[in-house]
């Protein structure tokens, strides 16, 4: 499950991508907050993280604000998820970027928990690594694309 912080980051990026596509100027934080539905105080921290990561830029002055500096198709959803929430792997021993052996595991190669979650994680990571901000913006019915049997996207 993604956190509220990640959801707000994605919504803010979509707002800035819309503005970039329209050829508009930078947006004030108040405008991004209003259009994305994110609380302004919370959004300030998120935008700083996105800026440090090189996804957005900021301008000072009368026409100042924040703007997307990468094309939407070059903004990986996995990159945003990792930036805001940390490693994507369900177990530390499965993480490619933040690997750590599990403290209670004596035989990682034969661990059943690792094997089961590793299979799930491999499928998940292939899908999430292929998605971009552009996909998020273009897909008007994302749940239908990934729906589980019975028509529910799962919990």
Cα 125 from Cα 10, distance rounded (Å)? 18
Average pLDDT across the chain, whole number: 87
Cα 58 from Cα 119, distance rounded (Å)? 41
120 Cβ contact list (under 8 Å, min separation 6): 90
* 16 C-beta neighbours (distance < 10 Å), count: 29
Q: Is the pTM of this model over 0.85?
A: no
Per-residue model confidence (pLDDT) at position 19: 85
- DSSP lists the bridge partners of residue 58 as 66
Structure tokens at 60: 């000072």
pLDDT per position as a tens digit, 60-81: 887 789 999 999 999 999 999 9
Segment 11-35 mean pLDDT: 90
């Amino acid at each position: 499950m993604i956190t509220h912080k990640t959801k707000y980051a994605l919504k803010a990026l979509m707002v800035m991508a819309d503005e970039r596509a329209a050829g508009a100027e930078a947006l004030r934080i108040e405008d991004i907050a209003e259009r994305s539905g994110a609380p302004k105080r919370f959004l300030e921290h998120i935008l700083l993280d996105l800026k440090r990561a090189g996804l957005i830029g900021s301008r000072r002055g009368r026409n100042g604000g924040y703007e997307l500096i990468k094309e939407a198709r070059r903004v990986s959803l996995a990159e945003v998820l990792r930036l805001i929430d940390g490693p994507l792997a369900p177990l530390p021993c499965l993480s490619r970027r933040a690997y750590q052996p599990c403290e209670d595991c004596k035989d990682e190669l034969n661990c059943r928990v690792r094997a089961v979650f590793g299979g799930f994680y491999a499928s998940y990571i292939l899908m999430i690594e292929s998605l971009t901000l552009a996909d998020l913006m273009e897909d008007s019915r994302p749940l239908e694309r990934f729906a589980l049997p019975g028509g529910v996207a799962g919990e």
